[in-house]
Amino acid sequence: MIAILKPGASDAQIEKLSQWFENRGLQVHLSRGESHTIIGLIGDTTKIDTDLLMGLDMIESVKRISEPYKSANRKFHPEDTVVDVSGVKIGGGHFQIIAGPCSVETPEQISTVAAAVKASGATLLRGGAFKPRTSPYSFQGLQGEGIKLLEHAKEQTGLPIVTEIMDLHQLPLFENVDLIQVGARNMQNFELLKELGHLRKPILLKRGLANTLQELLMSAEYIMSGGNEQVILCERGIRTFETALRNTLDLSAVPMLHEMTHLPVVVDPSHATGIARMVKPMALAAAACGADGLMIEVHNDPSKALCDGPQSLTPEQFDDVARCVRAVRGAL
Amino acid sequence: MIAILKPGASDAQIEKLSQWFENRGLQVHLSRGESHTIIGLIGDTTKIDTDLLMGLDMIESVKRISEPYKSANRKFHPEDTVVDVSGVKIGGGHFQIIAGPCSVETPEQISTVAAAVKASGATLLRGGAFKPRTSPYSFQGLQGEGIKLLEHAKEQTGLPIVTEIMDLHQLPLFENVDLIQVGARNMQNFELLKELGHLRKPILLKRGLANTLQELLMSAEYIMSGGNEQVILCERGIRTFETALRNTLDLSAVPMLHEMTHLPVVVDPSHATGIARMVKPMALAAAACGADGLMIEVHNDPSKALCDGPQSLTPEQFDDVARCVRAVRGAL
Amino acid sequence: MIAILKPGASDAQIEKLSQWFENRGLQVHLSRGESHTIIGLIGDTTKIDTDLLMGLDMIESVKRISEPYKSANRKFHPEDTVVDVSGVKIGGGHFQIIAGPCSVETPEQISTVAAAVKASGATLLRGGAFKPRTSPYSFQGLQGEGIKLLEHAKEQTGLPIVTEIMDLHQLPLFENVDLIQVGARNMQNFELLKELGHLRKPILLKRGLANTLQELLMSAEYIMSGGNEQVILCERGIRTFETALRNTLDLSAVPMLHEMTHLPVVVDPSHATGIARMVKPMALAAAACGADGLMIEVHNDPSKALCDGPQSLTPEQFDDVARCVRAVRGAL
Amino acid sequence: MIAILKPGASDAQIEKLSQWFENRGLQVHLSRGESHTIIGLIGDTTKIDTDLLMGLDMIESVKRISEPYKSANRKFHPEDTVVDVSGVKIGGGHFQIIAGPCSVETPEQISTVAAAVKASGATLLRGGAFKPRTSPYSFQGLQGEGIKLLEHAKEQTGLPIVTEIMDLHQLPLFENVDLIQVGARNMQNFELLKELGHLRKPILLKRGLANTLQELLMSAEYIMSGGNEQVILCERGIRTFETALRNTLDLSAVPMLHEMTHLPVVVDPSHATGIARMVKPMALAAAACGADGLMIEVHNDPSKALCDGPQSLTPEQFDDVARCVRAVRGAL
């Protein structure tokens, strides 16, 4: 970490500041220029708050050299993390498609969709039981009942199941869930993240609509610093000025995250675009730029879906997408 | 609500769709143009999901005429709501300044600051006990102990207290808190909002960093639809491409929210700008454009604050801001 | 176009407004609901300014049913436009790679790069002569001399050349340029667009950093309404809150533009990411989601480039990218 | 300027890099840490391209200590610049209101509005002659004829006139224009800026919809580096995700620009909000946070305005705004 002092900082001030750093276990390296003095700090600076330093009168600016995330940082963990979801591996060359309906609605619906997506090559079954909805008047999901229906579909198909948790008090219901999803709106629900850090179960962490990649990794760090290192990151579109599609899918996040971290990165083209016919091109693009997996909404009858129908594929459309994704991956 | 059908929708399709709407208790009004047929829906459309309609094959686009929020809507509640925080009124012409440190740190700190801000005209005391921090390695607040220190400062000064809740399991600790704050990152923590809707205690709801005004009102609606109508909205800066300041304070949200809703609107210039010397001009601007209150960070020794020091004012600076705010309000 | 009147509009007002529309050659279709009256307008509404309507006291909101762009609209021109750049076809299944240095620097540089990119499969040569730079103190390009060097490289390799115009007074120098580029910052330089509409030469129109897809098409419309229908659109990254990369490449713009318009769409991963090692994954993603071409910066010695070195590939890296792009396209 | 080298840079590489900097007239100051070596550069670094440095293999990151703008920088010019527009002073404590119609339409319209705004305290008359419109099918302004009508209104009222230039070939028509406006879409039309730098006439430079404050100052620098130091900056709203209003007025830009530069800063609440009834609160807020002036659209009959009617005030509304603005300024 480097701190640049304002012109005119006195020797006494600099001395005092240096001691403050040394008391925090850091080595201090001074470099006096014509107009500015620069302080280089050596040691573990993850606990130094740059905002706090910025508040000191004599400091003009602060720059981190090392990233504030450690467990998630590829520099300290060069090999890819492979997350094992009840036997299905993801990351480090293992590519998986997570598919299923936005919401679990009926036993027939989830069974039909589960069988269909398995036949087309999906290896994990998704389905929403607790649904974060902008409006209190919208369908909020089948909740505990939805998880039971998912468990039943898992018994039928053998597919491990993925579903979203919205609050830590729901945790007891997730005992048989194989991969717990943290939704975009909860990416910085730190109390929830801390609690998930105490589990020994894989977590699918979705990027918030207005969160940077570094913030996404800091949220992964919350989980990992609790001891749970099985984190899968998910890019699902960010909020920008463009309104032609629901969100802007930030695919450059995929190779960039692969540089920054060793964790697997999957892409959700369904939520990002909100339009079924955009799912295929964006799924192919995600596969082409190196994603470790895809998360795709499939519904046996999208026009009757209780939630997010317009972005769901039919099983036939999903089959086509899965086939083309394999072709792209085969070519690379 | 209006639905515009794609060119070529058959009479049978239109008939079927009309029945679907009538089954949901809506009156249907058809208008056939040369190329498009338009369906007007009359009745309570708050429960109709526009995304769901968009998924129907024959529909080209959908437009709401009435807003999806009802309890928060000024159209159905023309007079300003006045929220009473343990005797301190806010909204409907009642203007209040909430002030105090970012984090509660020590008994001396909170007592000193509380006495100082009261002397300068603040009528509510803020102080963070549970702190949402981007990094798991940063100071997370004194938690329950912090709330006790706030309660003690309240006894000393008589100022009602405001502090942030991060998860609904913390609720029992908030019994003596006068105004419960929901932070920007939790604006769409719907489980928390639902729970707060069951209280009969005022809630300060901060706008999320990337949330629209309509989404802010939908979150207020979550609380209000539970029966708790004592909601104060807070603009605290949004995330944009500009990096010169921490966030972009969206002051036009103040008069716009006053049109959309009857709820009081306060402004937090400290978090929005992140720089102490920007707090005064933005506080004055907020007062000038009609805010019902301000929320300002004050610390007896900002350079030693454990959190967000750079954006805190000294008691002397706060006194100057409060005085100028009164002058602006007096002039209007 | 639909206009929704405010509750309480009188019959006389509605009659007057209807006549105003009829005087503009539109048919008016009234639909009176319980609370709102809706006016449907049939005819050519491209010249009706929605902002103007919004200004009328009795109007609550306005919604276009048909898009404000006509020449660029796929609805009126269902087949793909194929743009012919001096014999090199782009669009409608014809995929091309435009490659070359950010800036033309020396005769050796441009000749070396031109020969190399041709050998690797590029079919159009790019090179900046007039350079839009944020700082007046940065290198501004070789200007007229740069165009001469490009023309010379064209003679040597046979590759048609692409270079950016910054102002309409530079037009005489572009006589031998095969494809004239309009940069992101000039996407709404309407005087320039009008002038280019009078040419009979293909135009490469880059999307502005904060412009919507509809605005991009309206800018294409400026060129096309002048009679020049040879327009190629280029997605090159938009400005968002994310700072990990220079811009956010909006790849969903590719399939979305293909729905909205018949014009070809190319992608520039070099400017979007600003980092050479991100060019390959994003080029592959662009090819996978259906782009009609790519625009890639290549420099024989990126570390010595006078401009935008960090985003340039070496000829060897470009050869690898071009090969993998062919593999992805072959697989689909 | 500081460059941080990647771990593992060899002594020979560091030596070579140091010489490269010294050849550019800079002093080099090396500081070797445990993992990283840091190079401090002393001297005039405005001509060093940080992007270029980032391209060098051995460099991890680069940080400017001094800003890349010089003429506009308050550090080198601590006193406020006062711009004199034909006798009307703006900046350094001189506050002015620029008012008039969005577009000049008829002799009666501009005369009526000019007389009215003068009576209410406006000291500069605005009116659009060349209009940048998103659609080629929208009204493009009266052009040269519009400027003549403005000149006539100036003769009648004595108010200096302000109008927008869209292309440098229009410059001869602007001989009698007192303050030449560069619109938001042309903020980075560098050829136009360079040409305006050769004039000795004040320029009103509007911030682009997606441009940072630093970019705004770099564009001012283009004009100033040509010798024309009479630049007034204008905040007029930026583009964000929020759609409730046309743009997001970034009022914190006012105090922030006052720190960064000595140039005057005015605010245009009409274009920022796009809604007439939002102009008053935002004008008051702008005055309260220290703007040096306001730019407000006034039309004698907003509902009949050919352009931007919804955001125009009537003369009566403007009179009220001007009065309240004076009250706010009086109070501070």
Contact C60 B63 (CB under 8 A): no
| pLDDT tens for the 332 residues of chain C, in order | 888 888 777 888 888 888 888 888 888 877 776 667 888 787 777 777 776 677 677 787 787 777 889 999 998 899 999 999 999 999 999 999 999 999 999 999 999 999 999 999 999 999 999 999 999 988 899 999 999 999 999 999 999 999 999 999 999 999 999 999 999 999 999 999 999 999 999 999 999 999 999 999 999 999 999 999 999 999 999 999 999 999 999 999 999 999 999 999 999 999 999 999 999 999 999 999 999 999 999 999 877 776 666 789 999 999 999 999 999 999 98
Dig out the tokens for D295 from the structure: 């730019």
pLDDT beyond 70 at B2: yes
Contact B40 C40 (CB under 8 A): no
**Mean pLDDT of successive 10-residue segments in chain A (332 residues)?**
80 84 82 74 76 72 83 94 98 98 95 98 97 90 97 98 97 98 97 97 97 98 97 98 95 98 98 94 98 96 72 95 98 92
Contact D134 C189 (CB under 8 A): no
Nearest by Cα to C98 from C311, C297, C324, C306 = C297
Task: Give yes or no for a contact between B296 and B97, defined as CB atoms under 8 angstroms apart.
Answer: yes
Dig out the tokens for D191 from the structure: 């050829």
Chain B residues with CB-CB distance to A185 below 8 A: 188-190
Q: What is the pLDDT of residue D77?
A: 93
Helix (H, G, I), strand (E, B) or coil at A193: helix
The residues of chain C that CATH labels 3.20.20.70 are: 74-331
Q: Minimum mean pLDDT among C29-38, D132-141, D295-304: which range?
A: C29-38
Chain A residues with CB-CB distance to B309 below 8 A: 51-52, 55-56
DSSP strand pairing (B2-5 vs A88-90) = unpaired
The residue type found at A74 is: R
> How far is residue D146's CA from residue C202's CA, in Å, rounded to a whole number?
34
Q: What is the pLDDT of residue B55?
A: 63
Which secondary structure element, helix H or strand E, spans residue A97, and what is its range?
strand A96-100
Q: How far, in Å, are A18, A20, A28, B308, D135 from residue A11 at the CA level?
A: 10, 14, 15, 26, 62
Q: What are phi and psi of C132, to 5 degrees?
A: -75, 115
Chain C residues with CB-CB distance to B63 below 8 A: 2, 61, 63
Q: What is the pLDDT of residue D58?
A: 79
**Cβ–Cβ contact C247 with D under 8 A:** no
Q: What is the pLDDT of residue A108?
A: 95
pLDDT tens digits, C29-86? 777 766 678 887 877 777 777 766 776 777 877 877 778 899 999 988 999 999 999 9
Q: Does the B74-331 domain belong in CATH 3.30.930.10?
A: no
> How far is residue A183's CA from residue A166's CA, in Å, rounded to a whole number?
8
The residue type found at B94 is: H
**Cβ–Cβ contact B277 with A under 8 A:** no
DSSP symbols for B38-77: EEEEES--TTS-HHHHHTSTTEEEEE-SS-S-STTBGGG-
Question: Mutate which of D64, D289, D320 to disrupt the B interface (most B C-beta within 10 Å)?
Answer: D289
Q: What is the pLDDT of residue D55?
A: 64
DSSP for residue B227: T
Q: Please state, rounded to an integer, the average pLDDT across all residues of chain B.
A: 92
Name the packing angle between helices B315-331 and B107-119 (round to 10°). Answer: 30
Residue holding tokens 């071409």? Answer: C293
Complex prediction ipTM:
0.91
Q: What is the pLDDT of residue B73?
A: 95
> How far is residue A48's CA from residue A51's CA, in Å, rounded to a whole number?
9
3-state secondary structure labels for all residues of chain C: CEEEECCCCCHHHHHHHHHHHHHCCCEEEEEECCCCEEEEEECCCCCCCHHHHHHCCCEEEEECCCCCCCCCEHHHCCCCCCEEECCEEEECCECEEEEECCECCCHHHHHHHHHHHHHCCCCEEECECCCCCCCCCCCCCCCHHHHHHHHHHHHHHCCCEEEEECCHHHHHHHCCCCEEEECHHHCCCHHHHHHHHCCCCCEEEECCCCCCHHHHHHHHHHHHCCCCCCEEEEECCECCCCCCCCCECECCHHHHHHHHECCCEEECHHHHHCCHHHHHHHHHHHHHCCCCEEEEEECCCHHHCCCCHHHCECHHHHHHHHHHHHHHHHHC
Q: What are phi and psi of A283, to 5 degrees?
A: -65, -40
Cβ contacts of B8 within 8 Å, gap of 6 or more: none
Task: Give yes or no for a contact between B131 and B185, defined as CB atoms under 8 angstroms apart.
Answer: no
Chain A residues with CB-CB distance to D4 below 8 A: 2, 65
Task: Give yes or no for a contact between C302 and C312, defined as CB atoms under 8 angstroms apart.
Answer: yes
Helix (H, G, I), strand (E, B) or coil at A225: coil
Q: What is the pLDDT of residue C306?
A: 67
Averaged pLDDT, D55-77:
84
Nearest by Cα to D183 from D168, D165, D171, D167 = D165
**Cβ–Cβ contact A210 with B under 8 A:** yes
Q: What CATH number is given for B2-63 in this structure?
A: 3.30.70.1140
> How far is residue B96's CA from residue D63's CA, in Å, rounded to a whole number?
42
How many residues are given for chain B? 332
> How far is residue C206's CA from residue C270's CA, in Å, rounded to a whole number?
13
3-state secondary structure labels for all residues of D197-255: CCCCCCEEEECCCCCCHHHHHHHHHHHHCCCCCCEEEEECCECCCCCCCCCECECCHHH
Helix (H, G, I), strand (E, B) or coil at D151: helix
Which secondary structure element, helix H or strand E, spans residue D3, and what is its range?
strand D2-5
Q: Minimum mean pLDDT among A23-37, B254-268, B277-291: which range?
A: A23-37
Q: What is the pLDDT of residue A34?
A: 65
Nearest by Cα to D269 from D228, D226, D321 = D321
pLDDT tens digits, A140-186? 999 999 999 999 999 999 999 999 999 999 999 999 999 999 999 99
Nearest-CB residue to A186 (from B56, B57, B189): B189
Averaged pLDDT, B74-103:
96
Task: Give yes or no for a contact between B300 and B264, defined as CB atoms under 8 angstroms apart.
Answer: no
Question: Mutate which of C189, C192, C245, C250 to disrupt the D interface (most D C-beta within 10 Å)?
Answer: C189
Nearest-CB residue to D273 (from B212, B214, B252): B252
The residues of chain C that CATH labels 3.30.70.1140 are: 2-63
| pTM score | 0.93
Neighbours of chain C (3+ CB pairs under 8 A): A, B, D
How buried is A136 (Cβ within 10 angstroms: 0-12 exposed, 13-18 middle, 19+ buried)? buried
Task: Give yes or no for a contact between A84 and A230, defined as CB atoms under 8 angstroms apart.
Answer: yes
Contact D278 B290 (CB under 8 A): no
Dig out the tokens for A11 from the structure: 């020797």
Beta strands in A128-248 (DSSP E): 161-165, 179-182, 203-206, 231-235
Neighbours of chain A (3+ CB pairs under 8 A): B, C, D
**Cβ–Cβ contact A181 with C under 8 A:** no
**Cβ–Cβ contact A75 with D under 8 A:** no
pLDDT tens digits, D161-189? 999 999 999 999 999 999 999 999 999 99
> How far is residue B33's CA from residue C29's CA, in Å, rounded to a whole number?
8
Question: Mutate which of B256, B257, B289 to disrupt the D interface (most D C-beta within 10 Å)?
Answer: B289
CA of D330, closest CA in chain C: separation in Å? Answer: 33
Which secondary structure element, helix H or strand E, spans residue B4, and what is its range?
strand B2-5
Contact D134 C57 (CB under 8 A): no
Q: What is the pLDDT of residue A111?
A: 97
DSSP for residue B171: G
Task: Give yes or no for a contact between B251 and B235, defined as CB atoms under 8 angstroms apart.
Answer: yes
Contact D305 C274 (CB under 8 A): no
Output D137 or C120, whichever has higher pLDDT: C120
Q: What are phi and psi of B266, to 5 degrees?
A: -115, 165
